[in-house]
Amino acid sequence: MFTRMIRGTLFRQWKKMIMIAFTIALGASLATAMLSVVLDVGDKVNQELKTYGANITVVPKSSSVLNDLYDMEGEGVGAYLREDELGKIKTIFWAFNIVDYAPFINVDASLPDGSPVTITGSWFNHHMELPTGEELDAGMNSLRSWWEIKDGKWIDEQAETDEKVAMIGSELAAREGLKAGDTMHLSGEAGEGDFLIVGVYEAGGEEDEHVYMQLNDAQELAGLDGCINSIEVSALTTPDNELAIKAAKDPGSLTVKQYETWYCTAYVSSICYQIQEVITDSVASPVRQVADSEGAILEKTKLLMVLITILSLIGAALGICNLVTASVMERSSEIGLMKAIGAQNGAVTGLVLTEIMLTAIVGGIFGFLAGIGFSQIIGHTVFNSAITIRPMVIPIVAVLVTIVTLAGSIPAIRMLLRLQPAEVLHGR
Amino acid sequence: MIVKADEITKQFLRKRENSNVFYAVEKTTAEFRGGNLIMIYGQSGSGKSTWMNMLGGILQPSSGRVLYDRTELYAMDDDTLSKFRNQHIGMIPQGQTAIHSMNVRENILLPFSLYGKEISAETGERADRMLEEMGIADLSAVMPSELSGGELRRMAIARALIRQPEVIFADEPTGDLDDENTRTVLSILRRQADMGKLVMVVTHDREVAEFADLTYRMSGGRLCLEEPEQIV
């Protein structure tokens, strides 16, 4: 009979119940969309920020000491990392968070007229088949995606040609009168050769005076086979917190539990630490500007989303409050009658709450489904990709809908508890 | 069952010339015994419904006590009082009261349903007998919105009697009924009194006096016992 009373109310007050369900659906949809985006936004923002380049640099330990002592930019002289260890970067605990990386070697060379030129050897679209079975095209093509190719194209490492190729900066090209398709003769300390210019780039910095070529070609010119000066790594990271800051200063200061938490979280300091473990005599350090920007943007984006969620839920609670109160007022004579013939407050409250919660479940389900749709619209509009709906969104939204529905029902329940049967039965 | 009003009063806040307090019921002491049909009559606003509600456990007096035998009604907590009302008091409120999502039979069985009780075969049979007795057996499955005023009133009486309470309160039970329905309803209530129940009827219809054992007049919040010859 309890079921029949509920069903009767739901059918008799269907317009009001639809309005309540709609209000809940609205709140639930926004909560679902925002939570889905918040939980996925870290990766999305990180991926967006990856277009601004690497966020970790790895240099030889001795160079790092010199840099720290003299606040020098660039790599030290006479200390090198080993090229054959590069593949190990994709074997660390957070290997899947390493989205791109490239080695660099800087070589002094000269043009035919004797003028000096800085040559940088690196990867461009270097193909790697990793022990994990993963395949990766790593290199500058994506790490320097903001470079503008004024003439020609990027160096293609996978093109089958025996010809040595190079890219030159726009200022050097203008000064020397070179363009894509020309050949340039370069002399290094240990070798020389003709290089086909495949592209002219504009980086907007001192690189516009440099020449970029494949790593092994630069090593040949300098006679430094298997040596590299530095590695730039682009990794998906979690914004730093107090633990990460403490660990970055000295991992030894952490307790065992803190260490495990830190090591198993994709903090930039944790990834740096793990890179140092696999690259001999190296120091990996975050490019603070990029890492900090990532963290700040991510935190602000998340805060904004959470605020929108809270405000939408408050709005839903207020809407529910009005509608449920109106519903109880409309049925006050029935509620008064039930109380007069002995219904306890708990039973009447239970009846009303069951009706509201059933309505909330329906509204919540529709809201959740709509929220998934909203999140995909946000994903495609803002990040140009789909938002992954995390399973944890379901219980979170369920709890939020329950809290909002109960909170919105409080004034109506208070009214119901104070309702005097003698008054409502006499139409007061 | 003896129902006793011990110096009860009821006052409401209402703007008056000399005072903001309005006494709906002045200090009154009275005692009513089972087996009687008590009629309380008076003009509208005389305080008779207030009086009945206080005795019926749905309106707390401003002062004084209401005793059912030795049980003090308003000393109970809200849940206990609700249960007491459910088990011992049959309330027939003024006007047309029903739960509109339930049919007539379900409305009659409501006092049982409120406590989540399974409706036993015996209770079901009693409900059917009630429907028969009230002359609405053929309306068992009909929804309240399809009933006439008289049918609704008979349904309300059946609902009040289904738990066989010792005390029955009826507020204007014949208010909007024709002569035939009035006599039917009063006969039913009379039978309950004859069965040993205490029946209190609040009305301004003096025809009820014909069925009553004792008649009281409520005037200006004061309750006075009247002799039959005083009722005009």
What is the residue type of A316?
Answer: A
Inter-chain Cβ pairs, chain A and chain B, closer than 8 A: 90
**Which chain A residues are Cβ-neighbours of B78 within 8 angstroms?**
344-345
Distance from CA of B111 to the nearest CA of A (A): 6
**Which chain A residues are Cβ-neighbours of B111 within 8 angstroms?**
341-342
- Give, in degrees to the nearest 5, the angle at Cα A328 between A324 and A330: 115
Residue at which a domain ends, from A242, A261, A286: A286
Q: Do B99 and A338 touch (CB under 8 A)?
A: yes
Q: Are residues A387 and A242 part of one domain? A: no
How much is the average pLDDT of A344-354?
89
Q: Which tens digits make up the pLDDT trace of A283-341?
A: 998 886 665 666 677 778 778 888 988 998 999 899 999 988 988 888 888 889 999 98
Q: How would residue A50 be classed by pLDDT, with cut points 50, 70 and 90?
A: low
Q: Which residues fall within 8 angstroms of residue B31, CB to CB, at 6 or more apart?
A: B2, B3, B4, B5
Q: Are residues A315 and A169 part of one domain? A: no
Q: Nearest by CB to A340, which of B50, B58, B113?
A: B58
Q: Nearest by CB to B116, which of A2, A4, A11?
A: A2
Helix, coil or strand: residue B158 = helix
Nearest-angstrom CA–CA distance, A320 and A338:
24
Nearest-angstrom CA–CA distance, A287 and A54:
8
Q: Are residues A280 and A301 part of one domain? A: no
Helix, coil or strand: residue A202 = strand
Q: Does B164 touch chain A (CB under 8 A)?
A: no
Q: Which residues fall within 8 angstroms of residue A338, CB to CB, at 6 or more apart?
A: A347, A348, B99, B110, B114
**Which chain A residues are Cβ-neighbours of B102 within 8 angstroms?**
1, 4-5, 8
Average pLDDT of each block of 10 consecutive residues along chain B (232 residues)?
91 74 87 92 86 92 93 92 93 85 90 80 89 89 89 90 93 82 87 94 85 90 75 46
**Which alpha helices (H) appear in A250-287, and where do they start and end?**
256-263, 268-278
In this model, does residue A76 exceed pLDDT 50?
no
Tokens of A114: 């004797």
Q: Are residues A104 and A23 part of one domain? A: no
In angstroms, what CA-CA distances link A291 with A47, A267, A296, A303, A382? 13, 10, 9, 18, 21
Tokens of A26: 């609205």
Residue at which a domain ends, from A286, A319, A348: A286
Residue at which a domain ends, from A286, A319, A354: A286
Q: Are residues A123 and A252 part of one domain? A: yes
Instruction: Return phi, psi of residue B166, to 5°.
Output: -80, -25
Greater confidence, A43 or B161?
A: B161
- Locate the chain A residue with the closest alpha carbon to B159: A341
Nearest-angstrom CA–CA distance, A264 and A31:
29
Tokens of B72: 């003090």
Q: Are residues A277 and A252 part of one domain? A: yes
Q: Does A331 touch chain B (CB under 8 A)?
A: no
- Locate the chain B residue with the closest alpha carbon to A426: B94
Tokens 């008091």 correspond to B89
Q: Nearest by CB to A426, which of B49, B89, B106?
A: B49
Q: Nearest by CB to B100, which of A12, A342, A426?
A: A12
Q: Are residues A201 and A330 part of one domain? A: no
Nearest-angstrom CA–CA distance, A42 and B56:
65
Note the Cα A277 to chain centre separation in Å: 25
Q: Does A425 touch chain B (CB under 8 A)?
A: yes
Q: Which residues fall within 8 angstroms of residue A36, CB to CB, at 6 or more apart?
A: A371, A372, A375, A387, A388, A389, A390, A393
Q: Of B221, B182, B213, B179, which is closest to residue B196 (Cα–Cα)?
A: B213
The H-or-E segment that residue A61 falls in is: helix A61-70
Greater confidence, A279 or A3?
A: A279
Under a CB-based contact definition with an 8 Å cutoff, are residues A377 and A289 in contact? no
Q: Are residues A146 and A272 part of one domain? A: yes
Q: Which tens digits make up the pLDDT trace of A84-121?
A: 998 888 888 888 888 889 999 999 999 988 899 999 99
Q: CB neighbours (10 Å) of residue A383?
A: 17
Q: Does A330 touch chain B (CB under 8 A)?
A: no
Q: Does A398 touch chain B (CB under 8 A)?
A: no
Nearest-angstrom CA–CA distance, A365 and A375:
15
**Which chain B residues are Cβ-neighbours of A422 within 8 angstroms?**
49-50, 53, 58-59
Tokens of A140: 């500058």
Q: Of B113, B93, B95, B94, which is closest to residue B103 (Cα–Cα)?
A: B113
In this model, does residue A418 exceed pLDDT 70?
yes
All structural domains of chain B, each given as residue ranges with its CATH number in brackets, are 2-96+166-230 (3.40.50.300)
Nearest-angstrom CA–CA distance, A256 and A264:
12
**Which alpha helices (H) appear in A204-341, and where do they start and end?**
215-222, 242-249, 256-263, 268-278, 288-330, 332-340
Say how many CA atoms lie within 13 Å of A202 toward its Cβ.
Answer: 7
Q: Which tens digits make up the pLDDT trace of A145-170?
A: 888 899 999 999 888 777 899 999 99
Q: Does A5 touch chain B (CB under 8 A)?
A: yes
Q: Are residues A250 and A121 part of one domain? A: yes
Q: Do B99 and A7 touch (CB under 8 A)?
A: no
Q: What is the pLDDT of residue A87?
A: 87
Packing angle of the helix pair A345-378, A288-330 (nearest 10 deg) = 140
Q: Does A11 touch chain B (CB under 8 A)?
A: yes
Under a CB-based contact definition with an 8 Å cutoff, are residues B66 and B54 in contact? yes
Q: Does B106 touch chain A (CB under 8 A)?
A: yes
Q: Does B111 touch chain A (CB under 8 A)?
A: yes
Q: Does A334 touch chain B (CB under 8 A)?
A: yes
In this model, does residue A369 exceed pLDDT 90?
yes
- HEC states along A8-34? HHHHHCHHHHHHHHHHHHHHHHHHHHH
In angstroms, what CA-CA distances link B24 with A19, A132, A418, B44, B51? 42, 89, 21, 11, 8
Burial of A134 (0-12, 13-18, 19+ CB in 10 A): exposed
Q: Are residues A278 and A170 part of one domain? A: yes
A372 lies in which domain range?
Answer: 2-46+295-425
Nearest-angstrom CA–CA distance, B171 and A86:
94
Phi-psi region of A152 (alpha: psi -120 to 50; beta: other; left: phi over 0): left
Nearest-angstrom CA–CA distance, A273 and A282:
10
**Mean of per-residue pLDDT scores for chain A:** 85
Q: Do B94 and A333 touch (CB under 8 A)?
A: no
What is the residue type of A51?
Answer: T
In a mutational test of the A interface, the residue from B102, B107, B114, B168 whose CB has the highest number of chain A CBs within 10 Å is B114
Q: Are residues A397 and A349 part of one domain? A: yes
Q: How would residue A24 be classed by pLDDT, with cut points 50, 70 and 90?
A: very high
Q: What percent of chain A has pLDDT over 70?
A: 90
First CA to last CA distance, chain B: 31
Q: Do B114 and A333 touch (CB under 8 A)?
A: no
Nearest-angstrom CA–CA distance, B94 and A40:
61
In a mutational test of the B interface, the residue from A330, A337, A341 whose CB has the highest number of chain B CBs within 10 Å is A341
Q: Which tens digits make up the pLDDT trace of A211-259?
A: 999 999 999 999 989 999 999 998 877 777 788 888 878 888 888 888 8
Q: Of A117, A34, A84, which is closest to residue A308 (Cα–Cα)?
A: A34
**Which chain B residues are Cβ-neighbours of A8 within 8 angstroms?**
99-102
Q: What is the pLDDT of residue A29?
A: 93
The H-or-E segment that residue A369 falls in is: helix A345-378
**Which chain A residues are Cβ-neighbours of B53 within 8 angstroms?**
422
Q: Does A70 touch chain B (CB under 8 A)?
A: no
Helix, coil or strand: residue B128 = helix
Q: Give chain A's domain count.
A: 2
Q: Of A222, A221, A219, A172, which is closest to residue A197 (Cα–Cα)?
A: A172
A128-137, A175-184, B201-210: lowest mean pLDDT where? A128-137
Q: What is the pLDDT of residue A119?
A: 94
Nearest-angstrom CA–CA distance, A81 and B39:
108
Q: Do B101 and A338 touch (CB under 8 A)?
A: no
Positive/negative CA dihedral, A242, A248, A254, A259: positive
Q: Are residues A135 and A92 part of one domain? A: yes
Q: Does B177 touch chain A (CB under 8 A)?
A: no
ipTM of the complex: 0.88
